[in-house]
Structure 1
Amino acid sequence: MNQRFYFDGDRDLKRSFQSMKNLMALCGALCALSLSLQGAQAPLVISEIMAENDSGLVDENGNRVDWIEIQNVSSDIVDLENFALSDNRANPTQWSFPEQSLAPGAFLIVFASGKDRAADQDALHTNFSLSNQGEYLALIDKTEGQPIHEMTPSFPPQQSDVSFGLPADWRMGQPLVMQALREATPGKANASAVLGRLSKIRFSQKRGFQSQAFELSLELEEATARIRYTTDGSIPTEEHGNLYEGPWSIAQTTVIRARAFGDGYLPSRTVTRTYLFPSDIVRQSPDGLPPVGFPYHWGRNRVDYGMDARVVDNPAYQDEWEKALRSIPSYSLVTDMDHLFDLKTGIYANAQEDGRPWERPTSVELIHGDGSKGFQIDAGLRIRGGFSRREDNAKHAFRLFFRDSYGEAKLKYPLFGEKGAEAFDHLDLRCSSNYSWSMGGAPQAALFRDEI
């Protein structure tokens, strides 16, 4: 039976537009497709897909790749060898299923990784991957040479770790209305559809340097939603973080990460803000010991935290330190402590490791001491460098990667003035360490070098 999406009259068209309006916050077109099927009696459907899998299901190699879930919605066993998947309308049998059957009501996960594995029936992989920007996708009946489930011209743009599929109350014979789902359920019955994504939390105080205490309030358009916040760099979840109950006083250097949760909605995007109080920055860990939650060491090194009291209390400098702190731009990197210092998975504690497996999510804020506009962007964080990666070196350099899986695909900001580049795929911080300080006191250390 040829099953294609189409708008079913004025009623479905109005319902579709209303669904789109409700879900525009999911990334433009990540919304309910109020599309109907002719007949809707085929035994198989594409019940769920994930086109941007950043923290979910892993394949047999430990990789997080795209996936497609097939469900047998009939009451009979279905021989899969008669079916194919394709993301190319001109090549409908692009990837064929092996000789394998699917029981009534059963689910099958096919990884859309491009690895092209059909022989191993325990882990099937297509020879194509899915575009998170949306693309054509079809389940083909090879005996008829026709699609039995077709997303045309494309499924909508997808967001990280949000699956797209048939809602929990869908039944065979009903129009295939595919929507963003509240949670990904590969190999299991689908979750209910989301009503939308909660709006962005509004902070009453701008990020940056502060000279006096202030009352911080958090606001959200959806009055029934719950806001949770953290001050340790971790991302709030439904169960983790302080429940926001009203304004509170901020009187010292503080990092706030806030996120909203509501029944039937995807959580809001995490908002991160750093508040810097110069008066306590210069008093951080005056004895050199770790602040609460920080490790005593990573690797074979001796860690000396904080500001040197011999400098900040020196009469020659004590009236200059706040002006000095504000005189140059500051970067605030905010991430879960374990992303840096966990002995097995932390990138700072395992600085010689590299590559995408050793990239961790972070918030990046550029803060100017004069109050001029900086930026905040979510990015991927890695250690970079050569000699400085050694475990007996306490300081490591960072590289930031800007990807759409974190948020914005590029950093757009004139970091180097009006005549410099204004868009960046990645950015290095604290590089050329051999030329700024010398761990071993080597005489060839330049101590200062202009970057070209």
Structure 2
Amino acid sequence: MTNKIMALSLKFRHFGILSLCLFNIQLWAEPVQTAVISEFLTNNSKSLKDSNGQNYDWIEISNINGETGDLEGYHLTDDPLNLTKWTFPKKEFNDNGFVIVFASGKDLKDPKKDLHTNFKLNSSEGGFLALIKPDGTTIASEFDSYPRQYEDVSFGSGYGEPREVKFMAEGDEAKWQVPSSPINGWTETSFDDSSWSSGKTGIGYDNSTKYIPHIGDGGDVKSAMRGINASIYIRIPFNLNDASGISDLTLRMKWEDGFIAHLNGKKIQSLSAPDNPIWNSTSTSNRSNENDAITFFDYPVSGPLLKGKNILAIQGLNGSMNSSDFLVSPELAGKKTDLDSPQNGYFLEPTPGSLNSQRIDGLVGDTKFNVNRGFHEEPFELEISTKTEGAVIRYTLDGTAPSQTEGTVYDSPIRIDKTTVVRAIAFKSGYSPTNIDTHTYVFPDDVVSQRTMSKSITENAKYKPLMVDSLKAIPSISLSIESPNTLNTEKERPISIEMIFPDGTKGFQENAGVTHFGGYFTNFSKKNFRIYFRAEYGTTKLRYPIYEGIENQIPPAQEFDSINLRTGSHDMIDRGAYMSNRFTDDSMLEMGHIAPHGRFVHVYLNGTYWGMYHLRERWNAAMASEYLGGSKEDYEAINANNTGSEFLQGVVFDGSGKYWTETRNLINGRTPFTSAANHIDIPNVIDFMLLWTSGNSESEFRSVGSVPLGVPFKFFIKDADGFLRNPGHPVTHNGPLNAMNRFRREGDPDYKVLLADRIHKHFFNDGAMTSNRLTARLQRRVDEVRLPFLAEAARWTNVRGGRANHSPTSWEAYQNNLLNNQLPRLTANMMARFRSANMYPDQIAPVFNQHGGSIPEGSGITMSTNTSSIYYTTDGSDPRLSGGAISPKAIAAKFDDEAPVPKDYIKNGQVWKYLDDGTDQGKLWFKSDFDDSQWASGPSELGYNEGDEA
């Protein structure tokens, strides 16, 4: 050690005494003596992320006495037999006196970055965690055999409620100086301000009388400041006997025109101040409202507080040296917690890096029901229990939420003999209560006889034997809420939602929020419901495969921020007999585009049957991220409501709207087809219009996109009520953003071909818009709904103002007309309209004898058309080049009136290139010029474990 001191002293000898002092401080800084583990979290899903955005478990170390020093040489361990398992580098505490270490197992020790231990924490009962002093044997702090840990609930040392304290008040003694040149170190605690002027806060002046009552004795600085300097330096001292346990530090300020505040040398707040202030800086703006200037404004701050002397140093800034008034009057307040009697416990609100919140002794064990939600025919005795001794259970039977003061105290089994919603909570003093568990028990015979069900249906000789089966034909959603009549407002309210399957399949129950949605023209007695999953109610997402078994070309998501329960709206009475929205969504999915998935369900409200609903994905930025990648913050979502015959420009629903504005500008430019291709999914918007003009719904759309992620805006039919009627829009409609009109006017030949190609894809060769596919699509949903519609018809014979709902007979007749008349003719009708509008040529596109799939060896493929020539390729490339020229790779087909000669382009045993390492190659590998030279190769047949591979 002596040699090191000599060498370093010689190296810095030319810097004199100051250099040696700095050296000695750095060399002899020691670890603190009283560091403890104050809080830890073993199951972190949302409370704190590391610098890479990962949610690792974490440990909080507290410098409990506020000493000067660091943690160098201390150890953390989860093993009582290995006390030096992980060692701290020279890591300093934050301004609040804490250090956070992530327990990730990654073993990272750079003191300038996040620290990570070489072990992970155990959530099971009996875990061990300790902080060991640098000697490697002395335990500074330990949690030996800690209790079971819970997700996002931390554990540690807790204290009583903090008290409000004021460290500095208006009228306290201050020192001030109007500088005539730079003053070094004036914000530091150790600075000598004995030669400065004295006065009480506030400090300022005023040519009128407005600020005078707020200026303290000796604080009028008009003669020293006005006309001389726009800046003034102010130092206010205060003392702390104990700097521990302080939280929620708040700087309260009256000020005009600007200020920069420092606490013990550290900048903690500034307003209307330049980025690089000097001794004579002015404020960057004038505070014109004088009433604001004499009102305290609170600014949460974080800064180092010291035992003993502390200094709040403020540079006051005026708008100019000749300003007529100026004021700075600070107060410093916070909360003080007594740290002398800590007790271990849980924290429902983890506070990594700051003082712990209110402690609880534990969490009451969840309530358990001996009979699960579902359908029942016989009465039973319901038992509710919790494993926490001494806990009290309260329950309700009317849909309201029980609490520690509301509901019946459970003391014996509850007899359930009719459709009933049971909601229960368990609580215990000093413990966190359970969430509210809800179980709905449905007795179908009881539901059929509810007073809201029309006997014209339930007692009808034809329908009566089918009513119970009608209620059990599709899943049920049970909603439980206090005062259900208030659902007529759009205010979000807490609700319980359950999904119940008649066959006993396990559903779900979550606590969520609910609003009703829809405009004036959807003001039916039967309301649309929107369900939100938020942390304030419970889970942030519904994680359940609610569309399992309802398969489409694109698999449905399994996580949801929100979902919609649609009533049928106008489709209930005269526009489409409940099927329009589901039919258009299914159509977009079958056309190969993302669109809301959905299924039909029965809904109960506090046990009362409320009708058949369309359970539909809510399309927004969150939903887009589930299908297209990224996070919901990456997307913009646009909502355009009905405005008659044309589409509105759309309003921003999610995101900033920056890229939507760019898209609109590109569409309105000279070359929208080529210029906007990265912003708008042109094949998608074409398909949107092909579908939309095939029906008669309103001019509404939803659009989502993420230009930074390479996801151009995609379009969805927002509200398709009335679609299943004869087409009511011209096929040359301008479309969203006037895009279709702009593309036509540009006249790019590639657009004309793309439009014709999309028509050909969907309206020919068993495409999504061919008659067989259209009728099969609707038939599948009709079969799904036919039986459950009996219950809907019984519940809602009238839906608004006495207007009748569809009866089972009229509903069936409507569907039969669609299936037997309208849809079988729709394809030919639309093709005639497309050709009349010059959207599709009269020539017959090449017709293959087989469109895709496997063919027997030697059978070949034939093509036919009414044109004079056909060009084709066999490598996946387009025989037509951009602009219309024929590709040099294209082959001219030969016409022959005789029987075609088979030709095999790909035979069994053909050598294939393949990649089987699981890497994502994107879409470039589809292209003919993709470099696959590094891929493996081998003869077909390819596969595994079938026994017929080459």
Q: Above 0.5 in TM-score?
A: yes
Aligned to 1:302: none
Write the distance in 1 (CA, Å) between the matches of 2:474 and 2:541.
24
| Greater relative CO (CA pairs within 8 A, separation 6+) | 1
- Does structure 1 residue 332 correspond to structure 2 residue 425? no
Give the AA of the match of 2:580: R
2:423 is matched with which residue? 257
- The amino acid across from 2:448 in the alignment is V
Alignment of 1:195-274 (within 5 A): 195-274=361-440
CA drift of 1:138 comes to 4.8
The structural deviation recorded for 1:389 is: 5.2
Q: Which residue of 2 aligns with 1:380?
A: 513
- Cα distance in 2, alignment partners of residues 82 and 369 from structure 1: 67
Q: CA deviation at 1:4?
A: 2.1
Equivalent of residue 41 in structure 1, options 237, 242, 245:
242
Alignment match, 2:142: 14
Please list the CA deviations of residues 156-177 of structure 1 after superposition, one character each: whole Å capped at 9, or x if unmatched: xxxxxxxxxx9x9x52566798
**What is the rounded CA distance, in whole Å, between the counterparts of 1:405 and 1:119 in structure 2?**
37
TM-score by length of 2: 0.30
After TM superposition, the structure 1 = structure 2 runs for residues 40-439 of structure 1, keeping only pairs within 5 Å, are: 41-42=242-243, 45-46=246-247, 68=248, 93=267, 95=269, 124=298, 126=300, 138-141=302-305, 171=338, 180=347, 193-285=359-451, 306-337=452-483, 340-341=484-485, 346=486, 348-350=487-489, 353=490, 358-388=491-521, 390=523, 393-417=524-548, 419-435=555-571, 437-438=572-573
1:31 aligns with 2:155: yes
Contact 1:379 1:401 in 2 (8 A): yes
* Offset of residue 448 of structure 1: 2.9
| C-alpha deviation, 1:229, in angstroms | 0.5
Q: What letter is aligned with 2:516?
A: I
Spell out, residue by residue over 1:335-388, the C-alpha distance to the aligned partner (whole angstroms, 9 max, x if none): 111xx42xxxx3x232xx4xxxx2111111011111112111111111111235
Query: Post-superposition shift, 1:248?
Result: 2.2
Give the whole-Å Cα distance in 1 for the aligned partners of 2:566 and 2:428.
40
- AA of the residue aligned to 1:171: D
Does the CA contact (< 8 Å) of 2:522 and 2:569 recur in 1?
no
Aligned residues: 312
Shift in CA distance, 122/226, structure 1 to aligned 2, threshold 3 Å: farther
Distance, in Å, in 1 between the alignment partners of 2:346 and 2:459 is: 61
**Counterparts in 2 of 1:177 and 1:251: CA distance versus 1, 3 Å:** closer
Q: Indicate the SS of the match to 1:316.
A: coil
| Residues 400 and 482 in structure 2, CA contact (< 8 A), matched pair in contact too | yes
Distance 1:420 1:248, change over 3 A: same
**Rg bigger for which structure?**
2
Q: Deviations over 1:49-81 (max 9, x none)?
A: xxxxxxxxxxxxxxxxxxx5879xxxxxxxxx7
How big is the shift at 1:13? 3.6
Q: What SS does the aligned partner of 1:211 have?
A: coil
Give the match for residue 103 of structure 1: none
2:563 maps to amino acid:
L
- Which amino acid letter does the alignment assign opposite residue 488 of structure 2? A
1:163 aligned partner: none
Separation in structure 2 between the aligned mates of residue 192 and residue 423 of structure 1, nearest angstrom: 33
- SS of residue matched to 1:319: helix
Return the alpha-carbon distance in structure 2 between the equivalents of residues 422 and 221 of structure 1: 32
CA distance in 2, matches of 1:449, 1:238: 47
Which residue identity is paired with 1:372? T
Q: Is the 8 A contact 1:229 1:259 kept in 2?
A: yes
Alpha-carbon separation, structure 1, partners of 2:389 and 2:345: 28
Q: Is the CA contact 2:155–2:344 (under 8 Å) kept in the aligned structure 1?
A: no
Whether contact under 8 Å (1:217, 1:248) holds in the other structure is yes
Q: Give the distance between the partners of 2:404 and 2:561, measured in 1 at CA.
A: 32
SS at 2:154 equivalent: coil
Q: Is the contact made by 1:40 and 1:173 (CA closer than 8 Å) also made in structure 2?
A: no
Q: Distance in 2 between matches of 1:120 and 1:272?
A: 53
Looking at structure 1, the residues matched to 293 and 371 of structure 2 have their Cα atoms a distance apart, in angstroms, of 58
Change (3 A) 1:119 1:446: farther
Q: Deviations over 1:408-432 (max 9, x none)?
A: 2111122222621111111000255
- The TM-score, its normalising length taken from structure 1, stands at 0.59
Q: RMSD over aligned Cα, in angstroms?
A: 4.0
Partner AA of 2:493 in structure 1: R
SS in 2 for 1:263: coil
CA distance in 1, matches of 2:533, 2:241: 42
Preserved CA contact (<8 Å) 2:481 2:495: yes
Aligned to 2:106: none
Aligned amino acid, residue 457 of structure 2: V
**Native 8 Å contact 2:379 2:415 kept in 1:** yes
Aligned partners of 2:478 and 2:297: how far apart in 1? 42
Q: Read off the aligned partner of 2:511 and give its amino acid letter.
A: D
Question: Could you tell me how far apart the structure 2 residues matched to 1:408 and 1:377 are?
Answer: 7
Does the 8 Å contact 2:262/2:268 carry over to 1?
Answer: no
Q: State whether residues 374 and 502 of structure 2, in contact with CA within 8 Å, keep that contact through their aligned partners in structure 1.
A: yes
Shift of 1:180: 3.0
Question: CA, structure 1 residues 96+203, in 2 after alignment: closer, same or farther (shift >3 Å)?
Answer: farther
8 Å CA contact 1:215, 1:250 repeated in 2: yes
Q: CA contact under 8 A between 2:478 and 2:497: conserved in structure 1?
A: yes
Q: Which runs of 5+ in 1 are unaligned?
A: 47-67, 72-80, 85-91, 98-117, 127-136, 146-165, 183-189, 286-305
Residues 370, 262 of structure 1: alpha-carbon distance in 2 compared, 3 angstrom cutoff: same
Structure 2 residue identity aligned to 1:397: N
More helix per residue: 2
Partners of 1:11 and 1:122 in 2: CA distance: 47
- Asked if the contact 1:40–1:174 (Cα under 8 Å) also holds between the matched residues in 2, the reply is no
Distance 1:83 1:176, change over 3 A: farther
Instruction: Mark the CA change 1:385 to 1:138 in structure 2 (over 3 Å): closer, same or farther.
Output: same
Equivalence for 2:876? none
> For residues 449 and 5 of structure 1, do their structure 2 counterparts lie closer, same or farther at Cα, with a shift above 3 Å needed?
same
- Contact residue 200 and residue 269 of structure 1 kept, 8 A: yes
Residues 15 and 34, structure 1, Cα contact 8 Å, conserved in 2: no
Cα pair distance change 1:144/1:17, threshold 3 Å: farther
Query: Matches of 2:535 and 2:294 in 1, distance apart?
Result: 32
Secondary structure of the equivalent of 2:457?
A: helix
Amino acid in structure 2 at the alignment position of 1:31? F
C-alpha spacing 1:193/1:209, structure 2 compared with 1 (3 Å): same
The 1:202/1:172 distance shift into structure 2, 3 A limit, reads closer
Alpha-carbon shift at residue 15 of structure 1 (Å): 3.6
Distance 1:247 1:205 in 2: 11
Work out the CA distance in 2 between the residues paired with 1:382 and 1:333: 12
Aligned twin of 1:288: none
TM-fit CA distance, 1:447: 4.1
- What is the CA–CA distance in structure 2 between the aligned matches of 1:313 and 1:42, rounded to whole Å? 79
Cα distance in 1, alignment partners of residues 295 and 381 from structure 2: 59
Query: How much has 1:246 moved relative to structure 2?
Result: 1.8
Q: Is the 8 A contact 2:268 2:303 kept in 1?
A: no
Relative to structure 1, the CA distance from residue 377 to residue 93 in structure 2 (aligned partners, 3 Å threshold; closer, same or farther) is farther
